[in-house]
């Protein structure tokens, strides 16, 4: 694994394939709110062992990637631009997006910049409601930064309840320590105004993955995304929102690779 600078002062973590295995497509991983490229390190190594090279971007304002003076005012559309620049530089990668990164993956597919898209507990576009009761209650304490475009600072109790509920308690502190503040404007766009995606422009194969115990993006959202795009759907029982960091995440990776072999390498 190595960190590199990419277009526009952004940074990314790169995993090079351990072996040349035909024309395996390049993978581009997109993180969600409060996170960074770090969350994909295990699955990047897993795919590298199987012949796939990959980039995992740090979106602007995350982990020193393209620093922003007034980060609370950064828009989801700014993050879309970040992802688009790198996707175009990589020439049609398979895009794998988690949470907010799943919405960015949908926008890349809409723009024709993805060979295929895998949406993991993905935030939905306008027209699909994302907020369940637990999320609404916990969002209230962050209403001021969301409405006033200030950074949203994650709390341990919210993270444990919504993101790490299926992570063993002894491992949660280490994950929480890696979370960073998020843009209030982006949070408002995701939860209130919505970001549109025209499904008629999404012509690449799409896989929507849901987690049965997800309390942040409820599994009905992943099913609704599959219907919107005429996509394949896979739901993992006993998994939460952070399914790529939970014990047994390899089963999710195996499901991705099997789907890529069928749909993503053409």
pLDDT along the chain (266 residues), means of 10: 89 89 87 98 97 97 95 98 96 97 98 98 93 63 86 95 96 98 96 94 98 95 98 98 98 97 74
How confident is the model at residue 144, as a pLDDT?
82
How confident is the model at residue 140, as a pLDDT?
65
Q: How many CA atoms lie within 13 A of 119 on its CB side?
A: 34
| CB-CB contact of 82 with 59 (8 Å) | yes
**CA neighbor of 7 nearest in space, from 87, 95, 68, 102:** 87
Locate tokens 């993050």: which residue? 79
Spell out the domain ranges in the chain.
2-264
pTM of the model as a whole: 0.95
How confident is the model at residue 138, as a pLDDT?
62
Domain 2-264 annotated CATH 3.40.50.1820? yes
How confident is the model at residue 141, as a pLDDT?
72
């Amino acid at each position: 694994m190595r960190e590199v600078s990419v277009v526009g002062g952004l940074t990314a973590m790169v995993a090079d394939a351990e072996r040349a295995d035909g024309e395996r497509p390049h993978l581009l991983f997109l993180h969600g709110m409060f996170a960074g490229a770090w969350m994909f390190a295990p699955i990047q190594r897993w795919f590298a062992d199987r012949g796939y090279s990959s980039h995992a971007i740090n979106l602007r304002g995350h982990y020193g990637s393209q620093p922003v003076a007034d980060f609370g005012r950064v828009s989801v559309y700014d993050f879309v631009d970040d992802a688009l620049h790198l996707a175009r530089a990589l020439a049609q990668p398979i895009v794998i997006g988690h949470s907010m990164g799943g919405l960015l993956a949908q926008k890349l597919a809409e723009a024709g910049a993805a060979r295929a898209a895998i949406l993991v507990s993905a935030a939905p576009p306008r027209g699909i409601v994302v907020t369940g009761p637990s999320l609404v209650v916990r969002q209230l304490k962050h209403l001021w930064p969301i409405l006033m475009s200030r950074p949203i600072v994650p709390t341990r109790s919210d993270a444990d309840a919504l993101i790490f509920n299926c992570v063993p308690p002894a491992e949660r502190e280490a994950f929480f320590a890696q979370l960073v503040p998020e843009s209030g404007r982006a949070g408002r766009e995701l939860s209130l105004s919505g970001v549109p995606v025209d499904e008629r422009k999404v012509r690449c194969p799409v896989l929507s993955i849901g987690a049965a115990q997800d309390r942040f993006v409820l599994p009905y959202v992943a099913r609704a995304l599959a219907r919107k795009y005429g996509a394949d759907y896979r739901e993992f029982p006993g998994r939460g929102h952070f399914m790529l960091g939970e014990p047994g995440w390899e089963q999710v990776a195996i499901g991705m690779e099997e789907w890529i072999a069928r749909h993503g390498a053409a």
